[in-house]
Amino acid sequence: MEDFIVSARKYRPVSFKQVVGQHAITNTLQNAIKNNQLAQAFLFTGPRGVGKTTCARILAKTINCENISDETEACDQCESCTSFNNNASFNIHELDAASNNSVDDIRNLVERVRIPPQVGKYKVYIIDEVHMLSAAAFNAFLKTLEEPPAYAKFILATTEKHKIIPTILSRCQLFDFRRIGVEDITEYLMYVAGNENIDAEEEALHTIAQKADGALRDALSTFDQIASFSGNKLTYKNVIDNLNILDYEYYFKITDALLSSDLSNLLLILNEIIDNGFEGQHFLNGLGEHLRNLLLIKDPATVELMHASHSLKEKYSSQAASCDTAWLLSALEIFNKYDLNYKTSNNKRLHVEICLMQLSHIGQTANPVPTVKRQIPIASPKPEIQNKVVPPAPKTEQPTLTEEKPAYTKPPEPKAEESPKPAEQIQIKPAKKPMAEGNGRRIKNISIKDSLKAMNKKKPEDEEVIEAVIKTPFDQEKLLDTWARFTTSYQSKSPSFANAVAKYKPVLKDNFVVEYKVDNSIIAKDVLNVTALLRFLKTELNNNQITLTPTFPEKNEQKTAYTDREKFDEMAKKYPEIIKLREQLDLELGF
């Protein structure tokens, strides 16, 4: 039985032209070899599986090749290339810094650098995961990296550039490898599937490429996994079953149900999704991506931002034709709100269902809806009220109707002994933000809440009553007495506020203005407690024209002691013998 080799190793690029998705870097390296402008040290950085170590090996092989082609590629036939292909090259050394990260490992490497190559032009040292080296190992490597022999080349590779000390970075040529595009990975997977005689659907390979998140090695590993399951035919259904991916058909069904405001169908589809083992967060993320794609495909300039196959793009384009841009923007705003609050929700399923309900409501209001007159029956006739006009009374707006025709109000049935009285008209206000229809008309909503408020305004108990002016005079002494009684009685409710206003004495000004001092604006803005103080003063002093004005004391102003500790300190300043007495009697203060 022939040994199986995973695709990530079997189809690993062996030349610059085979490297996928890194053309800028490979072209730079080829030009440096061609022009004989090779640096002493290179640093390859980027995410996993994008070709850092592969490019390092190709570069090491090419610069030692004895017959470099016109395209700056290794010949694969000379002694150096043959030994490299057989993993027997003495000029190329690979070091895994994850397991060889001590100072002794780097010192051994530095000792080997002193020996010149026996065959070929250069000795190349590839250090993978270089960020794992210890700080002492980095320092031991600095001098050699800065001034190596002419025949020595260092290629460092890492996924975490920020962990490398700046003195190392400054001694290397930096090459940032980017994530490989979905289209590039899909194309390479089609090439691999053709070599392996596997009939693969384009949609299936595109899904694998999206799942790989820019890492070609991950895509090849997933390809092997799906091929082992499905055999020689790789389908989209096999891919979504193995990778736990929700079929995009569900999102198209959900969107159709949202546009038609079919709430029952929405809940049934969601139940089927949950029964298949998918979490609500997974569904919300996919739905947000689906709505985003519908928005992108409406503009030809943004179609390239989508990661989808050609057949899937046609399906998106067909559904996007029935979606209004304003509807998509509103749907994305609602989705984002529910996505952010998903983790804090106790009932996850209900959270997702409410999200779909709101999205369904948008779909309902987005379609043309005829304006309907609603009639609110009145249980019994309202008695006529003789409104008292008290100047200056604000003018009440007359009830207006949003419909062009007068609203119909149902009169109450008259009793035998009295004639029917006209029913009160109910105010119907337009919605704050009416949605425009396609023909320019506006949909006007009827507000039941505002109508009830308009009815309540006619009740006699809601009539405005002007308070009589009471100006009972009082002096500073009476103010201080009332102020003290408030601070004493308010201790049980809010001791901090009571102590704060008791700290300074209030001052009576003209027109019954009471000026009081507080230490900070927080106390002055304590509306609840300040209102209680003002109400107490008005009641006790029998004067409803009192106003409170807070002020702040100067820094050097003497404060009145109001706590036991402050009172003791004040007495100690006047009578220092109290301190000595306390020490002699070994007394402890109970505050």
Q: Supply the pLDDT for residue 44.
A: 92
Taking alpha carbons only, the member of 258, 284, 279, 280 closest to residue 337 is 284
pLDDT (average), residues 363-382: 43
Q: Supply the pLDDT for residue 42.
A: 92
Q: What is the DSSP string of 61-87?
A: HHHT-SS--TTS---S-SHHHHHHHTT
- Per DSSP, the three-state class of 547 is strand
Q: Supply the pLDDT for residue 575.
A: 82
pLDDT tier at 396, thresholds 50, 70, 90: very low
Q: In this predicted model, what pLDDT tens digit does every residue of 94-114 receive, in sequence order?
A: 888 888 888 888 888 888 888
Q: Which CATH superfamily is domain 7-176 in?
A: P-loop containing nucleotide triphosphate hydrolases (3.40.50.300)
Q: Partners of 124 in the beta sheet?
A: 92, 153
Highest mean pLDDT among 459-468, 525-534, 577-586 belongs to: 525-534
What residues contact residue 84 under an 8 Å CB cut-off, 6+ apart? Answer: 57, 60, 61, 64, 92
How many degrees, rounded to 5, is the angle at CA 362 between CA 361 and CA 368? 100
Q: Supply the pLDDT for residue 55.
A: 92
Spans of all domains in the chain: 7-176, 182-243, 280-366, 476-551
- Of 206-215, 244-253, 321-330, 556-565, where does mean pLDDT reach its minimum? 556-565
SS (H, E, C) 358-370: HHHHHHHHHCCCC
pTM of the model: 0.55
pLDDT at residue 360 greater than cutoff 50: yes
Tell me which of 308 and 34 has the higher pLDDT: 34
Q: In this predicted model, what pLDDT tens digit does every residue of 299-321 receive, in sequence order?
A: 888 877 877 777 788 888 888 88
Q: Supply the pLDDT for residue 466.
A: 62
User: How is residue 363 written in tokens?
Assistant: 């779909």
- The number of helix segments (H) and strand segments (E) in the chain equals 24, 10
pLDDT (average), residues 395-422: 45
Q: In this predicted model, what pLDDT tens digit does every residue of 500-532 receive, in sequence order?
A: 888 888 998 888 889 888 888 888 888 888 888
- As a whole number, the mean pLDDT across the chain is 78
pLDDT at residue 414 greater than cutoff 50: no
Q: In this predicted model, what pLDDT tens digit does every residue of 137-185 receive, in sequence order?
A: 888 888 888 888 888 889 999 988 888 888 888 888 899 999 888 888 8
- Of 61-65, 99-103, 399-403, where does mean pLDDT reach its minimum? 399-403
Q: For the domain with range 182-243, which CATH number is right: 1.10.3720.10, 3.40.50.1860, 1.10.8.60, 3.90.45.10?
A: 1.10.8.60
Q: Report the largest interatomic distance among the alpha carbons of the chain, rounded to a whole angstrom.
A: 126
pLDDT (average), residues 480-491: 89
Q: Supply the pLDDT for residue 43.
A: 92
Q: For the domain with range 476-551, which CATH number is right: 1.20.140.10, 3.40.50.1970, 1.20.1250.20, 3.30.300.180?
A: 3.30.300.180
pLDDT at residue 492 greater than cutoff 60: yes
- Dist CA 291 CA 253 (whole Å): 12
pLDDT at residue 496 greater than cutoff 70: yes
pLDDT (average), residues 568-580: 80
Q: Supply the pLDDT for residue 370.
A: 42
Taking alpha carbons only, the member of 170, 100, 167 closest to residue 129 is 100
Place of tokens 């050097």: 556
Q: Supply the pLDDT for residue 420.
A: 46
In 379-490, the DSSP E strands lie at: none
Q: Supply the pLDDT for residue 587.
A: 77
Work out whether the CA dihedral 517, 521, 525, 529 comes out positive or negative.
Answer: negative
Q: In this predicted model, what pLDDT tens digit does every residue of 266-291 receive, in sequence order?
A: 889 888 888 888 888 888 888 888 88
Say if residues 164 and 130 touch (Cβ distance below 8 Å): yes
Establish whether the linkage from the previous residue to 420 is cis, with ω within 30° of 0. no
Q: In this predicted model, what pLDDT tens digit does every residue of 235-270 receive, in sequence order?
A: 888 888 888 788 888 888 888 888 888 888 888 988
